[in-house]
Structure formats: C-alpha cells, structure tokens
C-alpha cells in the first residue's frame, strides 16, 4: 500500500523561492525558482509517475521507495511506495536514507564557499593541503571537484569488505590510497573520470585547510543555510541513516543468482564508507530543496563559474549528458545520482522551470545508472504536466523521452520484472 501526501504551498518550501537564515554569517539564502502551485497532478499523470517508480523498484529488487516530483506550473507528488522490507510496514514519505553521490555536490559547495571567503582557492594544489601526495602537485582542488584529476576509485577494491563488515570505520586516507594507486596517464583537468577517491581526498583537503570536520563544514555551508533539517554527514560510528530510517538492502548473489526475494539488510552501516563522496543522509523533502539550490547556484556568488566548461559524462555521451562541479548536467536538469550500501538515490532540478525530482530505492543491487534513469524518466513524464488555472506550461523541453529511460531500466534489471514488463 502507498502512503501519499500532496504538499501545498505553505508546507512546500522545496519548490518556492526559499528564504532561510544562514548560520554561517552569510545572511539569507534564496532559491529563485517559480512559485509552486497548490495541489497534485491529474490522476492519469500521477499514475504514470507511480508506475515508473514501481518498475524501477522491481528492476532493482527494492521493497520500497520514496519519490518527490514538483512541477511549479502544475502540481506536485510526494509518495512513499511499497514496504520497508519483504514483510514490512508501508513506507512513509518522511523517512530518511543515505543520499549517495549527492554528497559530492555538497562537498563541492563547501569548496566554492571557502574559495569565495579566500580560505582556499579552487586552483590550489591538492599537495598544499594533503601530506604524502607529491604526485598530485599539478592536481587542483577544483579538479577533484570536477572529477578531472585522473584519480581512480576505491569501491571496486573494497565493496566486498563493506558487505561483510558494514559497520567497520574506514580511514579516508586509506580509501583514497586505492584511487591514487590507479591514476590515469591523462593530463590533469582534461577529462572526467568517475572517482570516489577524488571526493574523499577533497574532503580531507578541506578539513586540513579549515581545521574543521567535513561534517561541520557541510552543516555550516550547506545544510544550515538551506535549513535542511534531516540532512547531515554522520559520525563514522555504525548507525542507521537518520532519525526515521527507511531500511536499506542489497540483494546478494547466491547459487541461483541474486536473492531478490530475501535481500540482505544494510540499514546500519558506517558513513565512513562514503565520507565526502557518498556519506550524507537525508530525506526526500530535503533532497528536493537541495537539488533546487544546487541547480540555481543559490549558495554561491552570482558570478560563480562552477558549471562552466562541463565535460562529457562518459566516453560516447550525447551533448546533453555532461558533468562539472560535482554534479551531472542532463539536458536542463542539474543534480546527482548513484548508489551506496542499501540505497539508490537521485535528485535533479531545472533552474529555469523549477521542475524537480528526488527519489530513493531501498536496494542498491541495480547499480548506479538506474536511479539516474528513473529520475530522468520521471522528469520527462512531469514535463508534460498540464498547466493549473492561471499558469502556463514552460516552453523548455527535454532531449529524451520517458520511454527511452524506461527501456534502459528494463535492460539493466537485476531482479525479475513482471511478465508484462520483461
């Protein structure tokens, strides 16, 4: 059964021009997007959104999901879908979870805020702040944020250990060492390479530069100014993600393939697995609000060049799939997506229309692509939402169809789809 609520304009700070007190001394922060109309989407469109989410749930083996979609000119839909486990209760839409790679964007927010203050420069060498990395003299903090340092990833080497010991606390320097040992020969700054180690290294550099913890930095420069009350980078001690956790699972491989019927519970784990790459915990309302702040540059100076010079997100990416500043830029949408132990997460927003999507699936078995594909499918559906009374549908369109990514999810399914969807 689904627990659903439609957010009205008074309750929905996510999709209005938001003004919040900034605890870091920066005054108020405004998110400049069109005002959200009250009410929900037409029943048919809402059903399309729900069916898309349930299709992705089946493909990943997720028992539950939380989805938020906001189209300011038309309506909104925030829903808990499915159950908290194979025999669990209904999912509530205010549950908390691990936000995965959305953490990358927040880490870059901190970098750019510190650059504006003059504490560091995005052009500073990593070697100025992290000892023992002389080979990175030509790698800048900005390159770590953009993912152009050439550093590799640690996940392929350590994921089996996380599954066996999810509560183990990891030293960020140890994590980063695996990426440093897999550095490409490409000129630093020339190409994007997906690197969790790079964002962990950036977190270390910012801690050393400020003598503050990464948790406190994200709180001071991101969550407090935006009043993201359910969002934090937790301490490394093993814990559930937040005060009202959505249980998180991963279907592990057995003799007959993935055990999709009885996924393994990874709700309790150490945030040090992801640190400043993917360690943040959050809620759907917070992720929607954050996606809008990221897309509009609400936390940064108006002349910020964070998303200038975006590079292809992968080798043969279409021109509308790029990356910069710790974010993915997909058409007119800016955000981030990925998986971490137990959860698959995505959050995107269009800075001009205010169209915003945030979601979590409570199984990480499907891989990083599926939550991104679902976000883009939902955005394509919602972009065609009819205008409410007194509103106009924005002219901007998206360079893909909902069917395109629906098919992509089916092709990447790791658990059985219903017979009519296979």
Which residue matches tokens 């749930």? 57
CATH-assigned architecture of domain 3-372+387-421: 3-Layer(aba) Sandwich (3.40)
Distance CA 14, CA 31 (A): 9
Distance CA 154, CA 179 (A): 5
Distances (CA, A) of 296 to 109, 224, 319, 373: 12, 17, 21, 22
Distance CA 219, CA 100 (A): 17
Q: What are the phi and psi torsion angles at 372 (to 5°)?
A: -65, -45
pTM beyond 0.85, yes or no: yes
What per-residue confidence (pLDDT) applies to 25?
43
Any idea where the domains of the chain sit in the sequence? Answer: 3-372+387-421
Query: To which H or E segment does residue 404 belong?
Result: helix 402-411
Query: To which H or E segment does residue 289 belong?
Result: helix 284-296
What per-residue confidence (pLDDT) applies to 255?
82
What per-residue confidence (pLDDT) applies to 23?
38
What per-residue confidence (pLDDT) applies to 19?
38
* List of the chain residues with pLDDT < 70: 1-28, 420-422
pLDDT tens-digit series, residues 55-90: 999 999 999 999 999 999 999 999 999 999 999 999
* Among the listed residues 41, 353, 318, 74, the one whose alpha carbon sits nearest the alpha carbon of residue 52: 41
User: Contact, 65 vs 359, CB < 8 A?
Assistant: yes
Spatial CB neighbours of 196, under 8 Å, sequence gap ≥ 6: 153, 154, 155, 175, 179, 274, 277, 278
What per-residue confidence (pLDDT) applies to 186?
86
Distance CA 41, CA 54 (A): 18
What per-residue confidence (pLDDT) applies to 289?
98
């Amino acid at each position: 059964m689904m627990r659903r609520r439609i957010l009205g304009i008074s309750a929905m700070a996510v999709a209005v021009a938001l003004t919040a007190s900034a605890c870091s001394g920066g005054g108020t922060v405004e998110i400049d997007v069109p005002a959200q109309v009250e009410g929900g989407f037409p029943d048919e469109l809402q059903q399309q959104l729900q069916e898309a989410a349930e299709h992705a749930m089946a493909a990943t083996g997720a028992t539950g999901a939380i989805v938020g979609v906001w189209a300011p000119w038309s309506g909104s839909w925030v829903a808990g879908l499915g159950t908290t486990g194979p025999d669990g209760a209904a999912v509530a839409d205010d549950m908390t979870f691990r936000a995965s790679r959305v953490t990358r964007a927040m880490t870059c927010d901190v970098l750019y805020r510190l650059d504006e203050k003059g504490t560091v420069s995005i052009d500073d060498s990593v070697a100025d702040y992290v000892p023992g990395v002389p080979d990175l003299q030509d790698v800048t903090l900005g390159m770590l944020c953009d993912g152009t340092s050439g550093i590799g990833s640690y996940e392929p080497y350590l994921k089996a250990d996380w599954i066996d010991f999810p509560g183990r606390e990891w030293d960020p320097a140890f994590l980063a060492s695996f990426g440093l040992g897999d550095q490409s020969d490409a000129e630093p700054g020339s190409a994007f390479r997906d690197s969790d180690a790079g964002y962990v290294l950036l977190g270390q550099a910012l801690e050393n530069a400020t003598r503050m913890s990464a948790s406190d930095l994200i709180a001071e420069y991101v969550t407090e100014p935006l009043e993201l009350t359910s969002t934090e980078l937790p301490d490394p001690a093993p814990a559930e993600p937040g005060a009202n956790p959505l249980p998180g699972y991963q279907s592990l491989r057995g003799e007959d393939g993935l055990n999709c019927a009885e996924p393994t519970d990874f709700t309790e784990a150490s945030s040090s697995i992801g640190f400043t790459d993917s360690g943040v915990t959050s809620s759907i309302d917070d992720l929607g609000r954050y996606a809008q702040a990221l897309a509009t540059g609400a936390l940064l100076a108006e002349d910020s060049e964070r998303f200038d010079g975006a590079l292809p997100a992968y080798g043969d990416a279409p021109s509308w799939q790029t990356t910069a500043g710790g974010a993915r830029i997909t058409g007119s949408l800016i955000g981030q997506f990925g998986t971490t132990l137990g959860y698959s997460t995505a959050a995107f927003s269009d800075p001009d229309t205010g169209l915003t999507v945030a979601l979590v699936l409570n199984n990480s078995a499907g891989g990083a692509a599926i939550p991104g594909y679902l976000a883009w499918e939902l955005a394509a559906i919602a972009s065609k939402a009819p205008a409410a009374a007194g509103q106009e549908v924005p002219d901007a369109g998206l360079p893909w169809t909902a069917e395109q990514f629906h098919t992509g999810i089916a092709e990447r399914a790791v658990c059985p789809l219903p017979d009519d969807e296979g």
